[in-house]
Amino acid sequence: MRVVLVGAPGAGKGTQAKHIASHYEIPPISTGDIFRANIAEQTALGKTAKRFMDAGDLVPDEVTIGIVRDRLAQDDTASGFLLDGFPRTLAQAEALGEIVADLGTPLDVVLELQVEDDEVVRRLSGRRTCRNCGHVWHVEFDPPSVAGVCDECGGELFQRDDDLPETIRRRLEVYSEQTAPLVGYYAERGLLRSTTAIGSVDEITKRSVEALELATQV
């Protein structure tokens, strides 16, 4: 199963990516996670990415595409992969097409998680991430038992810089200008399936897997 997840920031791509990938036993590949790991390790890539991420802008294509090319060439993608947060521009989509063609592993399906803008702002502004284990909580929908402390590991929770209200607005603008056109791009190629990203995490995973099963049935 080779899948791309698309959807606005806050549609729940990260959460669903982990659940869907574990269902199919394929690696979830998140460019956002790769950038955040590089920021934590203070690499040169991390320093470059942080400037763009903190402003709510996209990291330039020439940086991002190379990372995905290297990642998809690793052995663990032999059984498939689930891309979360890539591609985000038409240029990235074109590059991905070339990468998978070179590897002989064409995409099976592009799944769009649909959610309204107001809901996105509510979700992102309440999101809190554990500094230690990376678990994501929500002050309203999934609060830890003690505010600011991770129930999983006792680590300190923090708000991502790119989840601050003005950055969220910028990320939504960037999404509608640069990423939303991918929905039409993949629809034209017969790869697109959409599902609404409203409901519990389990419900959305179930609907997503059903959509993927339907799409890959011949």
Which spans of this chain sit near ligand AMP (rule: CB under 6 A)?
Answer: 9, 30-32, 35, 52-53, 57-59, 64, 85-86, 88, 92, 162, 171
Residue nearer to ligand AMP on the CB measure, 88 or 123:
88
Catalytic-labelled residue, pool 88, 123, 128, 207: 88
Catalytic-labelled residue, pool 2, 13, 36, 193: 13
Which candidate, 31, 2, 38, 42, places its Cα nearest to that of 179?
Answer: 31
Q: Tokens 């799409």 sit at which residue?
A: 215
- At closest approach, how far in Å is the CB of 9 from ligand AMP? 5
Residue nearer to ligand AMP on the CB measure, 91 or 191:
91
Which candidate, 121, 120, 81, 128, places its Cα nearest to that of 103?
Answer: 81
Residue with nearest beta carbon to ligand AMP = 32
Residue nearer to ligand AMP on the CB measure, 43 or 216:
43
- At closest approach, how far in Å is the CB of 217 from ligand AMP? 29
Q: Who contacts 75 (Cβ-Cβ below 8 Å, separation ≥6)?
A: none
- At closest approach, how far in Å is the CB of 187 from ligand AMP? 20
- Tell me, yes or no, if 206 is annotated catalytic: no
Which candidate, 151, 153, 125, places its Cα nearest to that of 139?
Answer: 125
- Tell me, yes or no, if 88 is annotated catalytic: yes
According to DSSP, residue 137 is labeled: E
- Tell me, yes or no, if 47 is annotated catalytic: no
- At closest approach, how far in Å is the CB of 200 from ligand AMP? 21
The CA distance from 133 to 168, in Å, is 24
Q: Which helix (H) or strand (E) holds 30?
A: strand 28-30
Q: Who contacts 129 (Cβ-Cβ below 8 Å, separation ≥6)?
A: 135, 136, 137, 157, 158, 159, 160
Terminus-to-terminus CA distance in the chain, angstroms? 14
Residue nearer to ligand AMP on the CB measure, 53 or 72:
53
Catalytic-labelled residue, pool 2, 50, 123, 127: 127
Q: Which residues make beta-bridge pairs with 2?
A: 81
- At closest approach, how far in Å is the CB of 124 from ligand AMP? 9
Q: Is the separation of the CB atoms in 83 and 5 below 8 Å? A: yes
- Tell me, yes or no, if 207 is annotated catalytic: no
- Tell me, yes or no, if 171 is annotated catalytic: yes
Catalytic-labelled residue, pool 18, 69, 122, 160: 160
Residues labelled as active-site residues = 13, 88, 127, 160, 171
